[in-house]
Amino acid sequence: MPNTGRIEGTRSEILAILRRREGIAVDELAQELGLAGATVRRHLDVLLRDSYVSVSQVRGGTGRPKHIFHLTEAGAELFPHQYVRLTRRLVEAIAGLDGDETAGRSGTQIADLVFERMAQRVAREYAPRVSGDTLEARVRSMAALVAEEGLDFEVATVATGIQLLGRGCPCLRLVGGEEQHARRACDHDRRMLEGVLGQPVHALPPEAVPHEFYCGYEIRIGSPFASDGSASGGGVSG
């Protein structure tokens, strides 16, 4: 939840919902909160005034355009971040590169290599700390561990296995631009999760990811554990 010293009660709940959603209308917010639309609008007016949310119009068919509300950068900053940890990992990964590794590579390729090194380190640090006697318990343990890196996953049990539904990655903020809002799985994240869990992790296609999440992964029932308790290292963003 946001910093409760600054935002409290219903407005805090609204911001938490907007953090999970790319955009939401008043009637949807009212239904999720169990409040009247007029009450939700009053709270949104305050959040708009303080620049914590923004609003856009979406036209669809006949009738008046629908107003869709979004979390702004200022609103996102109300939530706790792991920027200090992330910055430290970036500096360490960049400092560890040598001239042979960067020669002839584009900036994007170097960034990709940096994220690769970061995730290899994350996997090495967290893999020994994963606990649990069942697949679900191990996945929940992993989700709690990577949350320390700012990776916000919700664990869901489905018929085919256990899913990790992500609300975005802090590294996407470093990339910026449209990448920040892309609803897609990241192969770097997938390999990093494999490295922590020591078990195959599969990316969900965009159409299989609920609209309130940015990406999704699945650990399937019956997938064999890696013999050495680890998988190939990946990155923490991409």
Same domain, 72 and 87: no
| Domain boundary residue, one of 76, 94, 117 | 76
Find out whether 110 and 100 touch, Cβ atoms under 8 Å.
Answer: no
What is the predicted pLDDT for the residue at 180?
A: 41
What is the predicted pLDDT for the residue at 172?
A: 52
Same domain, 101 and 216: yes
Same domain, 109 and 202: yes
What token pair was written down for 236? 């923490």
Residue pLDDT, tens place only, 28-68: 999 989 999 999 999 999 999 999 999 998 876 666 788 99
Q: Does the predicted TM-score (pTM) go above 0.85? A: no
Tally of domains in the chain: 2
What is the predicted pLDDT for the residue at 163?
A: 94
- Counted residue by residue, the chain has a size of 238
Nearest-angstrom CA–CA distance, 45 and 34: 18
What is the predicted pLDDT for the residue at 152?
A: 81
Here the CATH number for the domain that contains residue 70 is 1.10.10.10
What is the predicted pLDDT for the residue at 236?
A: 42
Tell me whether residue 236 is in a domain.
no
**Secondary structure in 3-state letters for 181-208:** HCCCCCHHHHHHHHHHHCCCCEECCHHH
| Domain boundary residue, one of 36, 51, 76 | 76
> Average pLDDT for consecutive 10-residue bins of the chain (238 residues)?
60 85 87 92 94 86 81 79 69 86 86 84 92 92 85 88 80 46 66 91 89 85 52 39
What is the predicted pLDDT for the residue at 189?
A: 85
Residues contacting 135, CB < 8 A, separation 6+: 161, 162, 199, 219, 221
Q: Report the DSSP pairing between strands 215-220 and 202-203.
A: antiparallel
Residue pLDDT, tens place only, 76-96: 777 766 566 777 777 888 888
